[in-house]
Amino acid sequence: MTEIDTAESSAYRRRSPLEAVGAALARLVPESGPRRWLRSAYHAALGGSRGVSSTLPGGEVVRVLPEYRFVTWNAVEYSAFRAAARPGGVALDVGANAGAYALLMGQWMRPGGRVFAFEPSPAAFDGLSRHVALNGLSDVVTPVRAAASDQGGTAALIGAGHHGTSRLAAAGERGTETVDTVTIDSFCATQRISPTLIKIDVEGFELEVLRGARETIARMDPLELFVEMHPTVWRERGMAPADLMEELRIQGLRAEPLRTVPDAWALEGECLRLVRVS
């Protein structure tokens, strides 16, 4: 069995002593009414509605609410997305969670650009929407409460929290709730947009999203397409890298890692760049 290489990430901020105390208390105080009261007071002490700020390597500042302070960025993804973004462009952040990359894309796409951030989990979508407003990006970033897939309709969602691990249920799995699904092709046709940048992070359902984006990808010029891979979920679903490779063959694409790794198809939680086969 191939060893999985897990990607690293950073919050790009110095965590305060108060956060260390809060983490210790969380382990000691059981989940109860008093703990919920303490959590509310703790979040207020961390900044409340003003949030906590992270400063990225290029000087971008992102503010997140205290309850979403776990938000992090992968350094090589950040660099690749930043280089691919263009003012006035259109970005799709598919699987936006609380908005870590959508908020950066919103800054990079100004002036004149648009970002559509897809997130089906209610808790994560709430955080995404609040963060867009908190960072003054409502004129650029549009949250879309739906999961991208290979067909429109509804589907079951598993793990509907806000920590970025929710995903669509596979056949035979029981979901925690029902969410809307859209294809990228139908969404782009309805919105009459031609994306210049697409980032896909859907916790193991990359194949379905790519199938539902064939027409859009075929007309993307230039092609700036990044897909975060989740081989551990593929195994759970009875899939293999060969299934993804076949879809790329159909679409005339190849996958390139953003950094040198032993096996790009065993890289967990980090994007591969998809480029056209010349």
Query: What is the percent of the chain where pLDDT is above 70?
Result: 83
Instruction: Give whole-number Cα distances, 148 to 19, 118, 182, in Å.
Output: 35, 7, 5
> Whole-angstrom Cα distance, residue 15 to residue 3?
32
Q: What is the pLDDT of residue 95?
A: 96
Cross-strand pairs, 2: none
Average pLDDT over every residue of 186-194: 97
- Residue whose C-alpha is closest to residue 255's, from 212, 200, 208: 200
Average pLDDT over every residue of 168-185: 85
Identity of the amino acid at 242: A
> Whole-angstrom Cα distance, residue 115 to residue 103?
9
> Whole-angstrom Cα distance, residue 104 to residue 238?
35
Range(s) of the chain covered by CATH 3.40.50.150: 75-276
Q: What is the pLDDT of residue 4?
A: 65
Is pLDDT at 92 greater than 90 in this prediction? yes
Q: What is the pLDDT of residue 170?
A: 75
Is pLDDT at 184 greater than 70 in this prediction? yes
Q: What is the pLDDT of residue 45?
A: 52
For residue 270, give every residue at least 6 positions away whose Cβ sits within 8 Å of its Cβ, in sequence order, or none.
7, 74, 76, 77, 228, 229, 257, 258
Is pLDDT at 37 greater than 50 in this prediction? no
Is pLDDT at 77 greater than 70 in this prediction? yes
pLDDT in tens, 239-272: 899 999 999 999 999 999 999 998 999 889 899 9
pLDDT in tens, 202-241: 988 999 999 999 999 999 999 999 999 898 888 888 889 9
Q: What is the pLDDT of residue 163?
A: 57
Look over the chain and give the mean of its residue pLDDT values, rounded to a whole number.
Answer: 88
Q: Give the predicted TM-score (pTM) of the model.
A: 0.89
Q: What is the pLDDT of residue 26?
A: 58
- Dihedral sign, CA of 87, 255, 202, 75? negative
Q: What is the pLDDT of residue 238?
A: 87
Is pLDDT at 145 greater than 60 in this prediction? yes
Is pLDDT at 2 greater than 60 in this prediction? no
More confident residue, 111 or 69: 111
> Whole-angstrom Cα distance, residue 231 to residue 217?
23
Query: What is the percent of the chain where pLDDT is above 90?
Result: 64
Return the biggest CA–CA distance within the chain.
Answer: 62
DSSP string, the chain: -PPPEEPP-B-SSPPPHHHHHHHHHHHHSPSSHHHHHHHHHHHHHTTGGG-EEEE-TTS-EEEE-GGGTT--B-HHHHHHHHHH--TT-EEEEES-TTSHHHHHHHHHTTTT-EEEEE---HHHHHHHHHHHHHTT-TTTEEEE-SEE-SSSEEEEEE--SSSS--EEPPTTPPPSEEEEEE-HHHHHHHHT---SEEEE--TT-HHHHHHTTHHHHHH-SS--EEEE--HHHHHHHT--HHHHHHHHHHHTEEEEESS--S-GGGEES-EEEEEE--
For domain 75-276, give the fold.
Rossmann fold (3.40.50)
For residue 225, give every residue at least 6 positions away whose Cβ sits within 8 Å of its Cβ, in sequence order, or none.
197, 198, 200, 217, 253, 273, 274, 275
Average pLDDT over every residue of 136-158: 95
